[in-house]
Amino acid sequence: MTAYLIKNVSVVGGAPTDLLIRDGVVAGTGTGLDAPDAAVVDGTGLVALPGLVDLHTHLREPGREDAETVESGSRAAALGGYTAVCAMANTSPVADTAGVVEQVWRLGRQAGLVDVQPIGAVTVGLAGERLAELGAMADSPARVRIFSDDGHCVADPKLMRRALEYVKAFDGIIAQHAEEPRLTEGAQMHEGEVSTRLGLTGWPAVAEEAIIARDVLLAEHVGSRLHVCHVSTAGSVEVLRQAKRRGIRVTAEVTPHHLLLTDEVVGGRGTLASPALADGWSPTASYDPVFKVNPPLRTGVDVAALRAALAEGVIDVVATDHAPHAVEDKECEWAYARPGMLGLETALSIVLDVLGPRWDLIADRMSRIPARIAGLDGHGLDPAPGVPANLTLVDPAARRVIEPTELASRSRNTPYARMTLPGRIVATFLRGEPTVLDGKAVK
């Protein structure tokens, strides 16, 4: 295993120092380090962060390898600065058995680019009717600890209570896709002024907020852990704030696209929460299916509330909800397009715009806390002697124009095409082995 000496790098925004990586761990830190046998990486002007951890990734394999594979998604993750991703269960077949989650886990190990931690389904086939093999998945080599029917809400309160009770036995987590299905039948985008103007069936904010309110009460009653996926409304933020004040064991995530894009883009208007990124960028046309996502893009008021909640800690982490789709599933009429956006290779740039160069806070929201939630040993740890060398090097001064054809994903459905984003991943190390060097994938 090659040793690496990273010179003059700022660790989580601190003073420049050297990092020596040897035998998979950080072997030394300090100024003026010398290691004749080590490959030297110039870290001048770069920031070293603990490797990023994503709690919400869709890798599509098995079943939709035309859109993404575990290998291609892992490569995209590494290029985005990630060393671990949690793979959602809505594959084909669904990851609702020990056999399927072990398959995904082994594919991740074979790719060797990031640690792939499978998320198991809560219910058989994501149908919301009976619990899946939660215990068997937890006992499998994949050691599943997070369970989610993402893409579908566990709408039955009795079933949700049973799931929370079951996973409590091994300190597991139910990650809820909060959407009351009876309030979103036929919905195409956020319910509001823009949906009325465009003639699209609206998706009310209360459909999300009602489920979160119900589930935090269930989690409090059971004393179990609840995680809320892709929070998107100001009302949801208030429900979560009150739940945390009461000491309920709830965590929540927000996606990069819900921190930046508003429902106005569906109507062809270039409304972004960040004026800096809006300069020179606009959506190409109205009804562009690249902006169709579940939950939908919300209003500027919602985006502002999400950004504030992330900084405050009411929302614990940023998760990408990386959702690759084949061309035919996106380049079609809006009503027939599948919801979802790419996110792994652009997430850190969006968060850097939202939070600014507050590196300790960025490390919390994108590495330390998600690793803690998922129980991923060896991840989310700041570079220090004896710590596994899972880290990423960021050039905060760089700016890059996003070109869909240059992304590592098999899909091209990025909402940030032709947008100029801040920051660039220069290198990513997984247990001391580089997966990205000089901004390029190593393998």
CATH of the domain at 189: 3.20.20.140
Please state whether beta strands 16-22 and 25-30 pair in parallel, antiparallel, or not at all (unpaired): antiparallel
Is residue 55 one of the residues assigned to a domain? yes
How far, in Å, are 236, 289, 338 from residue 161 at the CA level? Answer: 20, 36, 30
The DSSP element (H or E) to which 306 belongs, if any, is helix 300-312
Tokens 């619990």 belong to 131
Q: Cβ contacts of residue 155 below 8 Å, gap of 6+?
A: 128, 180, 181, 211
pLDDT of residue 273: 86
> Could you tell me if residue 1 is inside a domain?
no
Catalytic annotation present for 54: no
Query: Residue 284 falls within a domain, yes or no?
Result: yes
* Residue 275: per-residue pLDDT: 85
* 278 within 8 A of 209, measured Cβ to Cβ: no
152 is in an annotated binding site: no
**Of 394, 387, 385, residue with least CA distance to 436:** 394
The answer as to whether 3 is a domain residue is no
283 within some domain? yes
- Tell me which residue range forms the domain holding 306: 51-380
User: Does the annotation place 316 within a ligand binding site?
Assistant: no
Catalytic residue among 215, 263, 288, 321: 321
Q: List average pLDDT for each run of 10 residues in the chain, which is 443 residues long.
A: 96 97 97 95 98 98 97 98 98 98 98 98 98 98 98 98 97 98 97 97 98 98 98 98 98 98 93 84 91 98 98 98 97 96 98 97 98 98 97 97 97 96 98 98 90
What are 116's two structure tokens? Answer: 């792939």
Q: How far apart are CA 388 and CA 378, in angstroms?
A: 6
| Buried/exposed 219-253: b ≥16 CB within 10 Å, e otherwise | bbebebbbbbbbbbbbbbbbbbeebbeeebbbbbb
Domain presence at residue 349: yes
Residue 443 has a pLDDT of 81
Distance CA 231, CA 208 (A): 8
Q: Is residue 424 part of a domain?
A: no
* Residue 190 annotated as binding site: no
Q: Is 8 annotated as a binding residue?
A: no
Whether residue 422 is preceded by a cis peptide bond, meaning omega within 30 degrees of 0, is no
Indicate whether 219 belongs to any domain.
yes
Please provide the size of the chain in residues. 443
Helix (H) or strand (E) run with residue 193 in it: helix 193-198
Number of separate domains in the chain: 1
Q: Is 340 annotated as a binding residue?
A: yes
